[in-house]
Structure formats: structure tokens, C-alpha cells
Structure 1
Amino acid sequence: MRRLTIGLALLAGLVSWPWAGGPQAVPALKGAAGQDSSHGTNILIVGIDSRTGLSAAEKRRLHVGGEGCDCTDVMMLVHLSKDQRRASIVSLPRDSYVEYAKPDGSTTPPRRGKINGAFKTGRGPLTVRTVEKVTGLHVDHYLETDFSGFEQAVNNLGGATVCTDKALKDDSSGLDIPAGTHLLDGNGALRYARARHINRPGDLGRVRRQQRLLAGMLDRLTGQGALADPVSAAYTAGQLLKSVRTDERTGLDDLVRIGRTLGRLPAARMEFTTVPIANFDHRVPGVGSTLLWHPARSRALWNALRADRPITGDTRVTPVPDTRAETDPATISVRVDDTTVAKALRRSRFAVTDTSASAPSVRPAGPPVITYPAGREADASTLAAALPGSHLRAGARDSAFDVAVGSGPVTVRTVTYDRNTAEGAPVTADHLHCATPRR
């Protein structure tokens, strides 16, 4: 039954949150408007960036030094379908630039800011109303938790599975793990979930790692047969209420129902995504760098949830380009020994150096050969997508990307890089969880 703890506490706790006082309830939610409850259930789960109540020793142990902002650091909206056969989990990046809902009794015009700032202004109720305002969805239940609660939940579940094809080290969060699949304790999982300064950097990369962590834990718990009956579900819900705050409308029976729903779902019926972003560095005086949601694609996402439809495979949310690039061509410097091919690659924003002046007078037979630095296989795949049929050859780690055009015909395709697709496109949990963990 621990499935409920992970399905909610971890979903909520994937990073940082501070009220320290046992089971409490935030004020009842008022003014919710939008989606009819007959179209499923929406749960808003947040974590608050605050160090209130943590001793200096706890801060060092959890690696959460510095000052908190008394704002939401993580925000996830969970949609459970009406037929209880699908869960859609949407991460709302904390730097999203939105218009807040008005506080109760306010007569001033609504102001705009990062979505994480709504909590500081009006705590949980204003956070809920702001999410409802910008998504058009009705929030049925609200939960929040803290650093130590997240750590304890992971430890109680026996650890968290994470996997990486490269070593991950982030001094800010304290994360330091080698390549491979690992079973982390609560402290290690917290560091993994909070890391922002590793590949891929920033909030979208961090959010995807949080989603991957959650998917792996859910997969592992399913394999253990967790949440097998109502009695165990009720016990776990009671344990959850010791470390998670809820609104006054959310009680033990609601958590049992939500937990049992999550417990019955196979990985292929749990969807994870991040709100599509149009501008990743929208500068606002007095606010700083913010994220602007993609108007059409984010609207399509909320419309799909409102209509109780799956979000995976919805091309209105995630358009499918003719040739998709998994990494950004602008970050790939390429030397090309053919002027025509060099010009064509520039159209896809590769950073191209034309070396045709030193090209051999007699070209080798066959398709182009791409020589790439060992360790940059993802970038090599992006370049190969633009040159279909080319041969890949790994060079030294400090070598350059070189394209040697052969005597055969060359096709150059325009590739499209979409950061939303690369880092936050809708996927099901079976595309995120890890293989069998190792210690």
C-alpha cells in the first residue's frame, strides 16, 4: 500500500517544503471554476521552498542551505480520468510567468509574476485559484509537504530507483552518482530530485528527472504488489496524513480512493509531461528570467485534460516534425568539406565551418562519413538525422565533428529541435522507469 505514499507524497515532495507541524489542513478552497467533476479528478500537489523549522544540522544533512523564498518550488497537477484507467501528471515549472488570481477581498487589479509566488501572497488557497485561472481546470484536492517528509517517505519505501547513462554531479544539491542504475535512500533521492546544474540543465531537465524517479518508484512498487487491498490502503493513507498537509475537503477516504486508483494503473496508463514553453528566458523588470507558456500547445493540453482525453500522442500538444532533432543543432560545431552540404546544414542551425578548400580532389566512394567526439553520441545522432544514410565513426573525446562527403549522392534534411519535445513531451511511465536496480 505504500503505493499511495509514492503516488502522492513523492509526487508532491519531489523537492522542497517546509511547514513542520504534523497533520494540519489548509483553509477550504473557494471559488473553483472550470471543469465539471464528471470529467475526472484533479489533484494539485506542491512543495514549498522554505527552511523554516530545519536546524543547521538538518540543512547540512539534506544539503539545503541558503534562504528559502516561501514559495512553491515544485508544482504538479495530477488528473485521474473518470473511468479511473489513466493518470496524467503535468509539471508546472516554478518560473512560469502568469497572472495571479485575486486574493480574497482584493479590489486591486490582478498582478503577474512567477507562478511560484502565488503561495507567498495567499498560501495554498491562492495557489489553487491561480492554477485554476491559468489552466481553466477545477482543482478537487490540494496537498503539500516538506524536505524531511520526502526523505522519510523514500526511506519508508525502501529507496528510490534512478538510472543514468552518465555520471551526475551537482554541487548545489549534493548529488554525486556514477553512470548506471542505482537504489538511492531518501537523502540521495532528494539530492537527485533537486539537481539543476547537470545535463540537461535548468528546470525542465530537473522536472523530467523527477518524473523519471517517480515512474521508477511506481514500477518498483507495482512489482512488489503494493496497494493490494483496502485495509493496507487505509493504513498508508493514515501514514501519509502525518507528513502531508491537505485542504479541508481532502480526507482519509479521498486519499484511499486516489491511492487505490494509482495502484491499479499499469505504467502504460500513467502519463507524464511538462507545460509546453514558448520562451525560456522572458525577461521581466523586477521579476527576472521567466518562462512563457506556448499559447496554442498549453491550451491544447488543458483542453485535453478538461475533456478527459489522453495527452500522449496528441499532436495539438506535441506536433510531430518531419525530422526530429534530439539535441540542439546550434550547440554542434561541424566542419564540412563540401560547400553545398555546409549551406544546407546551416539552414538547420548547425554551427558549420566550410572546409571545402582543403577537400580531397578524389572523394572516397559511398555516403558521407561523420566523425564525432566519443561521448557525444546524442549530438552525432542529431547530425546523422540531417544526413540520412551517412556512416558514423567515433573519434577521440577531444576531436571535432567532421563530415567527409563521399562520391555518392547526398541528401540533407532540415531537422527541427523542440526543447519541449526533447525535455518534457508527454510520455508514459514505461518510457521513463529503469531496469533492475543495483546498490
Structure 2
Amino acid sequence: MQIVWAYRANGPPRTAEVSPVPTPHRPPRPPHPRTAPPQRGAGRQQTVPRSRTQDERPRWGMRVATGVSVLVLGAGGIGHAVVSSLETRIDRVDAFKDMKNRPRGGHGLNLLLVGTDGRERITTAEKEKYRLGGVPCHCTDTIMLVHLSADRGRASVVSLPRDSYAEMPPHTDATSGKRHESHPVKLNAAYAEGGPNLTVRTVEHMTGVKIDHYLEADFTSFMKTVDTVGGVKICTARPMKDAYTGLDLAAGTHELDGGEALQYVRSRHIDGAADLGRMHRQQKFMAALIKQTTSSGVLMNPVKFQQVVSSMLGSVRADNGFGTKQMLALGKAMRGFTPASSEFTSVPVEDPSFAVRGIGSTVKWDAEKSRKLFRALREDKPLAPARPGRQPKPTLVEVAPQEVRVQVYNGTPKDGLGTDLDAALRGTGFDTTRAPLNGELRDLKRTLLTYDPRWDRSAQSLAAALPGSELKAVPGQGATMRVTAGADYRSVRPVRAEAPQQGGLEAVTGDEVVCP
């Protein structure tokens, strides 16, 4: 699989007319848009339903994040000679040829990580073992925009859905040589029609963010890289099983080797979240990788570092500006990088199944929220909300608190305790009635949570926010949870859903999603 990373030093500011988010006219929807699986494809012709074989194509965009994260972080602690010897193995490509009317450069550095679905270097045995069959479409499969702050103390990672509705800039088709005017496509079609250059142009046109450096790599050595750093620890609040990739994880903590990590980052049939869920897992993997590489001693061990980077530099192309000097400077600046230094989110989505005639089902961005997001990147501002000093990180739960309805009761003589509990639950996202009542019991020692067994998963999310509370199943109670505050109540623990919501991924820091 081929992968792309863009990164180039900011030049003199240039003024450009940029349309950050395309705003197409909505064509008529089919009568039942949700009854058929979303169509995927990169061309401008009408897509057809995907076969199982097509669904099994590799989701390996995180391989570029794996290798490049190790390379950049390690460059600060490894000598010039070692990095130079590795840098000479990188082939060069011009991703910025003849680019004009680009967005104005902002503060910090912007990197484009793009993974294509190429599989020429995958062996037959690997294809069979990890279910990587199918015919590649030679289009981008994973797209991430990474912003490194001007002080190099923060990395903001924004996932761009590959099926995003996009307006392709005028260009010459890389395959046929035919000239095309601007036309609507899915974002992943840019690579198929015009390679890295058109991909960069399209992303800049959609986001208004100037891309700074470009790197493209074939990371078929992804599994070896993960194994060389000692594996990656992943935690899940619920079982994860995907028949297409072979992923099969029980709830809990897992040390993933290279093959298991590959299955984890490319799975998209675990739940209804599809690609949004896959992007969420890729981001968790990136945060876990940062934790592993910064805490295991790999970065300060020249032999280990060279082994890791050699395994992922088998086929790398980059622009001429990404060399030893740049790698060493970035590595030195980011020497103190930790999972808490990174933050992750995705483009806000208005409609995940936006039907477009001739293209199929696309992902339509939320225009206003997207503009705010990309403006924050240009202005070098953090995306994740700041957490108070010693506030615990949220506990991962299966059901989002926003989906859990709660009626609060006061089971003690203490005035206002029910009101306090209702406000605290609402503050962490639960859908409370905002009208707490006095309970039948007024001398309750231990907080009581009653629930209908049909909503037991919702009850578990609520129980995670009230550790130590008593759970009692009440058949026929209905969907609303009931919480009666006891004398033991002190506070509510923050919780957060493991699966993302339909509108996109909330911005979180890396230390919030890695294992404790």
C-alpha cells in the first residue's frame, strides 16, 4: 500500500480565494437511502454496490503515522549520521509542482498523511492470512491532516473521511492526460485522477489550510515496525469483532502485535459507525504508538531505532525539502513529546450519507463547524478543551451518556443533593430530566441505580459514572434509568463513549484514549 505525507516549509504569504467547504446542491434522495450499504468508489461514474472482496481491501493509512511518528520523534535523540543514512533511502517526488493560488501560510507546520489501497508488495500468504484480497482502486483510503504547533509542543490530528464530498480543482488526468475542469467527486478520487499533487490541491481547496511537506511511503512493513517497538497496548470497553478483517478482541486490555494491529486499524464492520469508527480506532492507535515509543527507550537506542526505521523506510518518497536537517530539527523540538501533547478529532459531519447523482453516497461536512475547525489550525490554536489540573480522564463506556435518559431522586434528608447529582450527571453528558424528585427512602446509605434489563448496556455506562453504586434490575421500568442519591454520594466520574457519534469525533488529547 502506498501512503502519503505532505510537509513543506512555509513560503511568503500568498493571497488566495479559498472555498473551505464545498456547498453542493442536494439532488433528490432515493426513497430509502439507509436500506442499502453506502456506495464507495473514486471515479465520476455511478458507483455500484461493493462486494465482499472490495470491502476487504487494506485500511493501512495508519502505517504512515506509525513509521513517521517513530522517525520524527526518534530523530531528536539519535545522531546526525544515523538519520542521514536512513534519509538517503528516501526517494523524491514533487507534490507541489506548478501549484498556484495556494492558501496563506499560518503558524506551525501542516502535514498531510494519506494512505492509498495499493497492495503490490503484499505477499500472497499475507493477503490470505489477513484477508487483504480484492482489486485496488488506486485511490486514497485514509486521509489525516496533522498540524504541529509553532512551539512544537502540540500535534493536532484531523481525520478527513475518504468519501467526503469534494470539488476537484481543474487538472490534467494523470493516467489519460485529459484536461478536466472543476467537478464534484469523493475526496479519495483526487489521488486516482492526479496523484499526490491533486490530492494536496484538493485538500487545500477544501480546508483553506496550506500543506507544508509531503511524504509517500509503501508501508507493507507495518507489522514488522509494530513488532520492533514491542507491540502496542490497546484498551476496549466492549468486544470487537470484524468478520472481514478477522479482528476478534474481547473487552479489556490487549497487547497487539503487528498482525493484530493491522486488523485493528483497518476494521470498519465492528458497529454502525463504519469509517467514522475506523478513524477513531486509528487515532487511538496513533496515541498508543506515541506512548509506546516515548516510554520504551526505542528513541534513545541507536540500534533499536535504526531497526525500527529501516523496517518502514523500504519504499519512501518525499519532496526534496524533507531531509536530515528537517528531521533532526523536528525531533529535537519534539523531544519531550507525550500522548498528552497530541490531540485528535475529525471533520464535523452534517450528513454521512449525502447522495450525489453519478457519484453515490458521500460524506457532507458541516460547513460552519468545519470553517471554525480549520481556522483554529491556521491560527495555531488547540482543538481539545483544556481539562482542569487534576480532573481524571473520562472512563470509556459502550453507550454514550447522551443516549442515556436519567431521572434523579434524593434518598437522604440533605436538601439539594438530588439537584447536585442531576447537574453533575448532566455535566458529563447524561440526558437527565432536570427535575430531581424526593425518593421514597430518605435514609439511603448507598446510591441506588435501578434499570430495565433490556437497557443493561445503558445502565453500565451510568454505573461507570457512579462507581460504588448499587445496581438493581427492575423488569418493565422502561428506558429511563433511575438514580437515588445515597449518603455515600460525593461526585460523578466523567465518562465518554468509545464509539464516535454520527456528527464526528470530539477533540480529545492522546492521554485520554490510551490505556491507563
When the two structures are superposed, what TM-score results if normalisation uses the length of structure 1?
0.72
User: Compared with structure 1, are the counterparts of its residues 235 and 371 closer, same or farther at alpha carbon in structure 2 (3 Å cutoff)?
Assistant: closer
Gaps of 5+ in 2: 1-60, 69-88, 387-396, 407-430, 432-438, 485-496
SS state at 1:303 partner: helix
Map Cα deviations across residues 409-433 of structure 1 (whole Å, 9 max, x no partner).
Answer: xxxxxxxx99658861111111011
Instruction: Name the CA shift for 1:398/1:34 in 2 (closer, same or farther; >3 Å).
Output: farther
Distance 1:419 1:8 in 2: 18
Q: Report SS of the residue matched to 1:292.
A: strand
Which amino acid letter does the alignment assign opposite residue 473 of structure 2? G
Secondary structure at the aligned position of 2:270 is classed as coil
| Deviation, structure 1 residue 327 | 4.9
Q: Say if 2:90 and 2:317, in contact at 8 Å, map to a contact too.
A: yes
The aligned residue for residue 429 of structure 1 is 510
Judge conservation of contact 1:215–1:432 (CA < 8 Å) in 2. Answer: yes
Letter paired with 2:280? R
Q: Distance in 2 between matches of 1:10 and 1:398?
A: 51
Q: State how far apart, in whole Å, the 1-side matches of 2:453 and 2:156 are.
A: 38
- Which residue of structure 2 lines up, in the alignment, with residue 320 of structure 1? none
Q: 2:58 is matched with which residue?
A: none
Shift of 1:235: 8.4
Could you tell me which residue of structure 2 aligns to residue 373 of structure 1? 453
Could you list the per-position Cα deviations for residues 345-369 of structure 1 after superposition, in whole angstroms to 9, with x for gaps in the alignment? xxxxx9xxxxxxxxxxxx9567996
Q: Report the CA distance between 1:75 and its aligned residue.
A: 0.9
Matches within 5 A, 1:61-210: 61-104=129-172, 108-146=180-218, 148-199=220-271, 201-210=273-282
List per-residue Cα deviations over 1:326-351 (Å, max 9, x = no partner): 957998899xxxxxxxxxxxxxxx9x
Deviations 1:146-203 (A, max 9, x none): 4523222212212121111222110111101222211111111000001111146311
Aligned match of 2:358: 286
C-alpha separation in 2, matches of 1:404 and 1:182: 34
1:34 to 74, 99, 103: 103
Shift of the alpha carbon at 1:397?
11
1:110/1:370 CA distance change after superposition, 3 Å: farther
Which residue of structure 1 lines up, in the alignment, with residue 91 of structure 2?
24
How many angstroms does 1:383 deviate by? 12
> Residues 410-429 of structure 1: matches in 2 within 5 Å?
420=501, 424-429=505-510
After TM superposition, the structure 1 = structure 2 runs for residues 341-360 of structure 1, keeping only pairs within 5 Å, are none
Q: 1:184 and 1:332 mapped to 2: Cα distance?
A: 32
The 1-side partners of 2:481 and 2:315 are apart by 57
Give, as a single letter, the amino acid of the residue that structure 2 aligns with 1:114.
Answer: K
Q: Gaps (5+ residues) in structure 1?
A: 1-6, 15-21, 315-324, 335-349, 351-362, 407-416
Of 317, 332, 349, the residue aligned with 1:245 is: 317
Give the conservation status (yes or no) of the 8 Å contact 2:163–2:362.
yes
Tell me the matched-pair count: 377
SS in 1 for 2:134: coil
Is the CA contact 1:26–1:246 (under 8 Å) kept in the aligned structure 2? yes
Q: Which amino acid aligns with 1:24?
A: D
> How many angstroms apart in 2 are the aligned matches of 1:433 and 1:119?
32
Q: Report what 1:11 is aligned to.
A: 65
Output the amino acid matched with 2:453. P
Q: 1:211: which partner in 2?
A: 283
Distance in 2 between the 1:69 and 1:236 partners?
30
Shift of the 132–394 alpha-carbon distance from structure 1 to 2, 3 Å rule, reads farther
More helix by share: 1
In 2, the alpha carbon distance for the partners of 1:312 and 1:330 equals: 19
Q: Contact 2:223–2:261 (CA<8 Å) still a contact in 1?
A: yes
The verdict on how the C-alpha distance between 1:243 and 1:157 changes in structure 2, with shifts beyond 3 A counting, is: farther
Change (3 A) 1:169 1:179: same
CA contact (8 A) 2:450 2:474 kept: no
Please give the alpha-carbon distance, in whole angstroms, between the structure 2 residues aligned to 1:393 and 1:90.
Answer: 39
Partner of 2:85: none
Give SS of 2:188's match.
helix
When the two chains are superposed, the root-mean-square deviation of aligned CA atoms in Å is 4.3
1:219 CA drift (Å): 1.1
Q: Which residue of structure 2 aligns with residue 342 of structure 1?
A: none
Structure 2: distance between partners of 1:374 and 1:256? 56
Select between 79-88 and 95-104 the one with higher mean Cα deviation: 95-104
Shift of 1:26: 2.7
Match of 1:52 among 120, 126, 133: 120
Distance in 2 of aligned mates of 1:157 and 1:429: 18
* Letter in structure 1 aligned against 2:514: H
